[in-house]
C-alpha cells in the first residue's frame, strides 16, 4: 500500500481575491499568498485553519486546466492531495491498483517545483499525488 499523507484539499474558486476574503472571515490564515502557475494557467493560494491546509485554485484564462471543472462544479472542493516520499513507486502502485493518470508528473511552481500528478478512479474521483519535500523520487 502506498505511504500517503494528506497534504491539502484543493478547492476551486471563480474569483481568488473574493474567495480569500471569505475564507479569512471564517478564520483561515493565508500561509502562501496567491501565485501564478503558468504551466496550468491558474492562480494558487494556500490557507490553513485547525491544522487543515486548503489550496484555492482559480482559472487565469479560458484554457486553464480547471476551466472545464469550474463550469461543472462551481466554487467547490475538488481533490485531496497526498504527499509521498516515494513518488515514482507510489505513482506506479496507484496505477496498478486501478487509478488512471490524467496528466504526467509535472513540477508545481506553487509547491517548490515538486512533482505533482493527478489520477482518477471510478469509485473515488480525482486525487493529486505530490512528491515530498525531503525526498528525491
CB 54 to Ni ion: min, Å: 10
Helices (H), 14-86: 16-25, 67-73
- Nearest residue relative to Ni ion (C-beta): 10
State the virtual CA torsion across 43, 48, 89, 65 in degrees, nearest 10.
Answer: -20
What's phi and psi for 31, nearest 5 deg?
-105, -20
Binding region for Ni ion (CB under 5 A): 10, 55, 81, 128
CB 110 to Ni ion: min, Å: 9
CB 60 to Ni ion: min, Å: 16
Residues 6 or more apart in contact with residue 123 via CB below 8 angstroms: none
Q: Which is nearer to Ni ion, 90 or 128 (CB)?
A: 128
Q: Which is nearer to Ni ion, 37 or 55 (CB)?
A: 55
Amino acid at each position: 500500500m502506498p505511504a500517503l499523507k494528506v497534504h491539502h484539499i484543493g478547492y476551486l474558486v471563480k474569483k481568488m481575491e473574493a474567495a480569500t476574503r471569505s475564507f479569512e472571515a471564517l478564520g483561515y490564515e493565508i500561509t502562501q499568498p496567491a501565485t501564478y502557475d503558468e504551466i496550468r494557467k491558474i492562480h494558487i493560494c494556500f490557507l490553513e485553519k485547525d491544522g487543515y491546509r486548503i489550496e484555492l485554485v482559480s482559472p487565469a484564462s479560458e484554457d486553464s486546466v480547471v476551466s472545464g471543472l469550474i463550469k461543472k462544479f462551481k466554487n467547490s472542493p475538488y481533490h485531496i492531495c497526498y504527499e509521498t516520499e516515494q513518488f515514482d513507486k507510489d505513482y506506479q502502485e496507484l496505477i496498478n491498483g486501478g487509478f488512471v493518470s490524467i496528466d504526467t508528473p509535472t513540477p508545481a511552481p506553487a509547491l517548490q517545483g515538486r512533482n505533482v500528478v493527478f489520477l482518477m478512479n471510478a469509485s473515488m474521483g480525482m486525487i493529486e499525488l505530490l512528491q515530498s519535500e525531503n525526498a528525491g523520487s
